[in-house]
Homo-oligomer: A and B are copies of this chain.
Amino acid sequence: MIKAGIIGSTGYAGQELVRILLGHKEAEIKWYGSRTYVDQPYADVFRNMFELVPDICKGEDLSRLCDEVDVIFTATPQGLCSTMVSEDILSKVKIIDLSADFRIKDVNTYTSWYGIEHGSPEFIEEAVYGLCEFNREEIKKARLVANPGCYPTCSFLSIYPLAKAGLIDMKSIIIDAKSGTSGAGRGAKVANLYCEVNESIKAYGVTSHRHTPEIEEQLSYASGQVTIINFTPHLVPMNRGILVTAYANLVQDITEEEMRKLYQQAYQGEQFVRFLSAGVCPETRWVEGSNYVDVNIKKDERTGRVIMMGAMDNLVKGAAGQAVQNMNLMFGLPENTGLLMPPVFP
């Protein structure tokens, strides 16, 4: 039985980790960390957990926690994990960091986009980018996994096969993404009140969203080319879900059917990536509550572009589900353990 601790268990991603791990037969949660709710019953913070979680929220003391658990999930704001981690800690526990601290290999890029100093750049190289479908073997051996961002996961899985095959102009990529409101976190802000979000849609972080360099870095690896993109996220009045609509110029003459074969090959055997039938657009309602990413493409004969689309639950495959997928790999369990819940509709 894997003993798990969660730093930041009282945010939305943290709570989703709890939900998933409660159904995971090989893991148990030993530590519900929280900054805001220390000493309060966890089930008072999230009443869905009434009678399911009897535990009390504890502080976020990583050095003490690492003696009690086998794996620590850090579902915290940027900058926290990198200041807490140390060789001593990593020698005792595995860490799966849901923040951005270890996702970007170039520390200057991190500093410039996130506007904070990195607390432990010496561990960046060791950290494995936890996109399970691509870095499976490295993840199995990792002590420190950087769980990918929600937008990057959905964007990368939507674009990868064409980027890898060298079929799209890597400087032409435009990613127009849409996210449910849980992605904005549980902080008490006027902008996230019900009446402010409901019945509206807006773009935010235009040209400056911090997931941009993460997407660019991963796409650069896949394509072997420098990749600079436009990435525009939007806030949608719904709780969960991310939809990516990505556009790129095709650099050679290829049919939609030929492109479909590349996706089929890329995702053959991948349980959590569902490449849809021709003509079917991904919709977030069909993946809600599950670890699936639905992907499809459409060629535009008139413009010579391809539209690549992906839909995903931002809290599952975009956060907690992928984190558990990583944990499974790191501990030698079947990768889908605890992740087989079908999407909940409606």
Contact = CB atoms under 8 A, between A and B. Distances in A.
Interface of A: 12, 15, 19, 22-23, 46-52, 171, 174, 176, 178, 180-182, 186, 188-190, 192-204, 206-207, 228-230, 232, 234, 236-241, 243, 245, 247, 274, 276, 280-290, 294, 298-303, 305, 307, 309, 311, 340-346
Contacts of A188: 188-190, 193
Contacts of A194: 181, 192-194, 196-198, 237, 239
Going nearest first, the 9 A-B pairs with the smallest beta carbon separation are: A200-B285, A48-B343, A202-B283, A195-B346, A176-B176, A194-B197, A207-B300, A188-B188, A47-B286
Given A285-B200, A346-B240, A50 B232 contact: no
A307 B276 CA distance: 30
A346 B182 CA distance: 7
30 contacts: A12-B195, A12-B346, A22-B342, A23-B341, A46-B286, A46-B345, A47-B283, A48-B290, A48-B342, A49-B342, A51-B274, A181-B194, A181-B198, A186-B190, A192-B194, A194-B196, A194-B239, A195-B239, A198-B239, A199-B285, A200-B285, A201-B238, A201-B284, A203-B309, A206-B307, A207-B301, A234-B245, A240-B346, A289-B289, A341-B341
Nearest to A175: B176
Given A247-B174, A276-B50, A307-B230, A284 B346 contact: no
Contact of A203 (B198, B241, B274, B281): B281
A241 B201 contact: yes
Interface-centre pick from A46, A201, A305 (highest chain B CB count, 10 A): A201
Nearest to A344: B289
Contacts of A174: 174, 247, 305
Nearest to A199: B238
A185 B232 CA distance: 29
Contact of A199 (B298, B303, B346): B346
Contacts of A245: 176, 203, 232, 234
Given A203-B309, A341-B23, A286 B50 contact: yes
A230 B248 CA distance: 11
Nearest to A343: B48
Contacts of A311: 202
